[in-house]
Structure 1
Amino acid sequence: MSSLPVSIRVAQAIGLTGAAFLAGNITSFALNVIPSLRNSRTKDNVPAQTIAKQWTHMYHYGKTQNPPISVVSAAALGYVAWSVRSGTELAKLVPRNASPLYAASAVLIMAIAPYTVVFMTATNDRLHAHAAATEKTTAAEKNIEELLKKWDSLNLIRGLLPLAAAALGMIAVLG
């Protein structure tokens, strides 16, 4: 496999590093940020609406950072999948199933977007609405806590998509 062109090696590195970064970035919110926000609510009595506002800021950073990384990583892995597909000269230099594994990696990375739209939009919208609300009620406070818990679970699942992409990509590299 050392005979692969530099362009393929660079694309592998970009794709796999991006997938691993996305997995870590996305799951860090579920494993660290949301539990910290929830602790601020329960242990420090920070109002739930304030927690929702903090979540909104966190959401904004993820929404601006992750899509470009997803596109670049998926494009790099897609390029590798296309380059080493069956029938090409490069196919002889990689493990037999490398091309489909790279393609699956690219698809898993791009699946973050539809997963977010289908499974998380309603929760996101409700949290944004709570953050923007001017009126505080006991029911709203409870609802925010429930929404954060739900978002945390959904986000952890979303983080598994690029983790699986990185794993498949590594299998393709190592054979």
Structure 2
Amino acid sequence: MPDNCSFKLAQAVGIIGSAFASGGILSISFLTVPAILLPARNSKLSTSTGGTPASTISHLTHQWLHVYDKGKFIFPSLAAGSALAYTFLACTLRNSPGGRSPTGAGKFAQMYLAAAAATLAIVPYTLLFMLPTNTRLEARATRDDAVEREGKEGMAMSAEEEARRAREDREMPGVIRKWACLNTIRGIFPLVGAAVGMAATLCF
């Protein structure tokens, strides 16, 4: 049974990293998004029942983009570091005898590999299920940036274009709520990774 500082450090890095990634991702859905969607203080309607956010749509989407830009570097990096630690543990245990399992350490190597896969699953999940929503929100957040830089705020638009923009703005709070739901599912993957990693660590 491996018993050295690097092995124990990898256990700590894997479990803490995946748990921290999950907590950070879930906090955005449960804390950050509801906060930026808050209606005016004197409003009797909450955003969950269709209340109008106090902030402008432009500001809402820029707030979302700020969170997204930070999160897309922080959480994949945490997941990758955690997965590397789990993979190191799996490789160390693959051919090692010992542990409390009659099948030896191989069973726990498989558990650590499963923890690594679950933690890294945030990346393909984002690409497969969240990318269209991410792209739509990012496009709205940056929609008027070029116009503002070039000083064309008063540029005339067709009635059709104005109607399209107004419709897009009305839909944005709902799109942000949809993103929060998708993000909640994403946060579950590293949580599963942390749980499996912890189970392997406690049982080995």
TM-score of the aligned structures, taking structure 2 as reference length: 0.78
Aligned positions, number: 171
- For 2:37 and 2:141, the matched residues in 1 are separated by 15
Cα deviations by residue, 1:41-70 (Å, 9 ceiling, x for unpaired): 746621122101110000011012122211
| Structure 1 unmatched runs, 5+ | none
Deviation of the 1:9 alpha carbon: 0.5
Partner residue of 1:111?
A: 121
Contact 1:84 1:94 in 2 (8 A): no
Higher relative helix content = 1
Q: 1:35 is matched with which residue? A: 34
Amino acid at match of 2:168: A
Deviation at 1:161, TM superposition (A): 0.2
Q: Provide Cα deviations, 1:65-85, integer angstroms capped at 9, x if missing partner.
A: 122211111000011011112
Q: What residue in structure 2 maps to residue 8 of structure 1?
A: 7
SS at match of 1:93: coil
Counterparts of 2:168 and 2:196, CA distance in 1: 42
SS at 1:92's partner residue? coil
* Aligned residues: CA RMSD: 1.9
Alignment of 1:1-175 (within 5 A): 4-40=3-39, 42=51, 45-85=54-94, 87-88=95-96, 91-93=97-99, 95=101, 96=104, 97-134=107-144, 137-175=165-203
Q: What is the deviation of 1:138?
A: 3.0
TM-score, normalisation: structure 1: 0.90
> Does the CA-based 8 Å contact 1:15-1:74 persist in structure 2?
yes
Measure how far apart 1:94 and its partner are: 5.8
Q: Percent identity at matched positions?
A: 33
Structure with larger Rg: 2
Q: Deviations over 1:93-149 (max 9, x none)?
A: 364531111100001111111100000010000001111123794312222112101
CA contact (8 A) 1:94 1:173 kept: no
